[in-house]
Amino acid sequence: MLDTSVVLSGLKLDNPVIPASGTFGYGNEFREFYDINVLGSFSFKGTTREPRFGNPTPRIAECTAGMINAVGLQNPGIEAVIAEELPRLRTFFHKPVIANISGFSVEEYAYCCERIDREEQVGLIEVNVSCPNVRHGGMSFGTSPEAAAEVTRAVKAVTTKPVYIKLSPNVTDIVAIARACEEAGADGICLINTMLGMRIDMQRRRAVIANTMGGFSGPAIFPVAVRMVYQVAQACSVPVIGCGGVQSARDVIEMMMAGATAVEVGAANLVNPYASKEIVEALPAEMERLGIERLSDIIGVVA
C-alpha cells in the first residue's frame, strides 16, 4: 500500500502537495473547480495587519517558462480574514490550513501572528520575510540573518503553533539566513520565494509592469529552488517546505529527495486551476515507477 502522507512539525498531511500563498486566494475560488480537500493543505494569501489594495496595474508579465508578478500583497487585512475568510473556509475545507503572514515592521508581524495563532483551523504559520522593512530603507527582512532572526524571535514569543519562515532567494547566502532563523526558534523553513525579474515592452520603451520589477516564478526557477532546498536541508535540522517552479509529481519527488518534507505549488495554479489536484492524483503512479512505497522515506535521500 503506497503511503503519500508526511508530517510537518506534528501536523500530518495526507500528501505533501500545498498550493503556495498568493496563487490560491483563501480557497474559495478553487473550490468551484474541485474538492480542495484532496490537497495536503494550502497556504492562504499573504495577510497583513491593514487591508492592502496592492500595486498599480499592470501587475503581471509573461516570460519564457515563467511569469513576473508585482501584485503587492493585496489582501483584506488580518481582521477581515479572521472574521470573514476563515469562517467561510471552514464550510468547505476540513483540514488545517497554513496561514501566510506578511508585515512591514517586526511589530506588525508579531501582531498578525498572535491574532492568527488563536484560530483553530490554522495548523501552521508561514511568515513571509520578503517584505520591505520600512524602518530600514525598504530592505527586505529576509536579506539579512539578523533581521530574519529578529522577526522569528518576535513571532515565536507570541505563538503556540509551528512557525515556518519563508525565505527569499534574492540573497548571497541562503544557508546563513536559514540557520539564523532556526537558532531564533523557527520550527521550519519554507523556500524559495520568487526571484527578482523584469520585462520590457520594446514598442513602448518601458517596463511591462507598473512596478518595473517583480517576482519571477515558474518552471525556469525550479533548479535554483532544488539547489537551495538541498543546501538548507543539509545545514538545518528543522523541516523544509520546498517551492519554486513545481509543476508535476516528478518535481514534487525531486524536491523531496533534495530535502523537502512538503512541497508548495505556485505559478502552475495560475496557468491551470487543476494543477495541484492533478499532481496529487499523479503521485501514486510516479511512486510506483520509482519504487517508492512511502514518500516520507525519500526526504533528503540525496546526501
Q: Which range is least confidently modeled, 33-42, 54-63, 247-256?
A: 54-63
Instruction: Return the domain boundaries, the chain.
Output: 6-49+77-196+217-298
What pLDDT score was predicted for residue 89?
Answer: 98
- Pull the grid cell for residue 83: 472574521
Which amino acids are annotated catalytic? 131
Do residues 151 and 106 make contact, with C-beta atoms less than 8 angstroms apart? yes
Of 17-26, 35-44, 132-141, the poorest mean pLDDT is in: 132-141
**pLDDT for residue 139:** 63
pLDDT per residue over 259-302, tens digit each? 999 999 999 999 999 999 999 999 999 999 999 999 999 999 99
Amino acid at site 71: V
Please state the rounded mean pLDDT for residues 131-135.
60
Average the pLDDT over 86-100 and give the result. 98
- What's residue 156's pLDDT? 98
Q: Which amino acid is at 23?
A: T
Using the predicted structure, report yes or no on whether residue 54 has a pLDDT greater than 80: yes
pLDDT, position 238: 98
Question: Binning pLDDT at 50, 70 and 90, where does residue 148 land?
Answer: very high
C-alpha pair distances (Å), 93 with each of 4, 97, 169: 20, 8, 31
Instruction: Give dist(CA 248, CA 283) in Å, integer.
Output: 9
Helices (H), 46-173: 78-80, 86-90, 106-117, 145-156
Cell 488580518 found at: 78
Percent of the chain with pLDDT over 70: 97
| Residue 252's pLDDT band (cuts 50, 70, 90) | very high
Which among 74, 40, 43, 36 has a CA at the least distance from the CA of 57? 74
Instruction: Identify the pLDDT of residue 1.
Output: 87
pLDDT at 132 over 70: no
User: In the chain, count of helices (H) and strands (E)?
Assistant: 9, 15
Task: Check if the beta carbon of residue 239 is closer than 8 Å to that of residue 188.
Answer: yes
**Per-residue model confidence (pLDDT) at position 135:** 61
* Helices marked H in the chain: 78-80, 86-90, 106-117, 145-156, 174-183, 222-235, 249-258, 267-271, 275-290
Confidence of residue 303 (pLDDT cuts 50, 70, 90): confident
Residue 137 has pLDDT above 70, yes or no: no
Give one DSSP letter per residue of 185-203, joined into a string: T-SEEEE--PEEE--EETT
Overall average pLDDT of the 20-42 stretch: 96
Least confident of 23-32, 131-140, 189-198, 276-285: 131-140
* Mean pLDDT, rounded, for 40-66: 94
Q: Which CATH number fits domain 6-49+77-196+217-298: 2.60.40.10, 3.20.20.70, 3.90.470.10, 2.170.190.11?
A: 3.20.20.70
> How does the average pLDDT of the chain come out, rounded?
95
Name the percent of the chain lying above pLDDT 90.
93
With b meaning 16 or more CB within 10 Å and e meaning fewer, what string describes 191-216? bbbbbebbbeeeeeeebbbebeebbb
Q: What are phi and psi of 244, to 5 degrees?
A: 125, 95
Note if the bond before 58 is cis, omega within 30 degrees: yes
Q: What angle do CA 43, 62, 174 make, to 5 degrees?
A: 50
Residue 136: pLDDT band (50, 70, 90) is: low
136-150 burial, b at 16+ Cβ within 10 Å, e below that, comes to eeeebbbbbbebbbb
Tell me which of 46 and 134 has the higher pLDDT.
46
Residue written as grid cell 472574521: 83
At 134, the pLDDT band (50, 70, 90 cuts) reads low
